[in-house]
């Protein structure tokens, strides 16, 4: 168990538009979900932490009005990149944890390209 999916796996959008990425825990209830960004050949950078039904906690330097996170249920969190620009192009990865466990289960990632 502990499978996390992301949709879409790849998305190309035009500059100025918004794009939504979904993260789902398929076989467990995720008390906490995390969103990461990964630049080419670099490590993962935590963007925000979200708990179901409450506002996300953003890391320093991450614009909360640009990266909207909604954690509406225990199995779904969404990241919306608003007014996307080419510099937002990146690999976005979500993860989920359950209960009191410190372990996170990662999704397969979404590659966003803004043209």
Which residues in this chain contact another protein in the complex, by CB under 8 A? 6, 32, 34, 41-44, 46, 49, 57, 93, 95, 97, 101-109, 111
Pick the closer one to another protein by CB: 61 or 102: 102
Pick the closer one to another protein by CB: 46 or 68: 46
Phi then psi dihedrals of residue 3, to 5 deg = -105, 135
Classified as helix, coil or strand, 92 is: strand
Nearest approach, Cβ of residue 104 and another protein (Å)? 6
CB under 8 Å to 82, separation ≥6 — which residues?
18, 65, 66, 67, 68
């Amino acid at each position: 168990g502990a499978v996390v999916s992301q949709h879409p796996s790849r998305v190309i959008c035009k500059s100025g538009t918004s794009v939504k990425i979904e993260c789902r825990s398929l076989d467990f209830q995720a008390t906490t979900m995390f969103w990461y960004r990964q630049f080419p050949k670099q490590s993962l950078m935590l963007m925000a932490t979200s708990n179901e039904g409450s506002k996300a906690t953003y890391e320093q330097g991450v614009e909360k009005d640009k990266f909207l996170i909604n954690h509406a249920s225990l199995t779904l969190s969404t990241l919306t990149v608003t007014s996307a620009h080419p510099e937002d192009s990146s690999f976005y990865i979500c993860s989920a944890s359950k209960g009191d466990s410190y372990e996170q289960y990662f999704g397969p990632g979404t590659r966003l390209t803004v043209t």
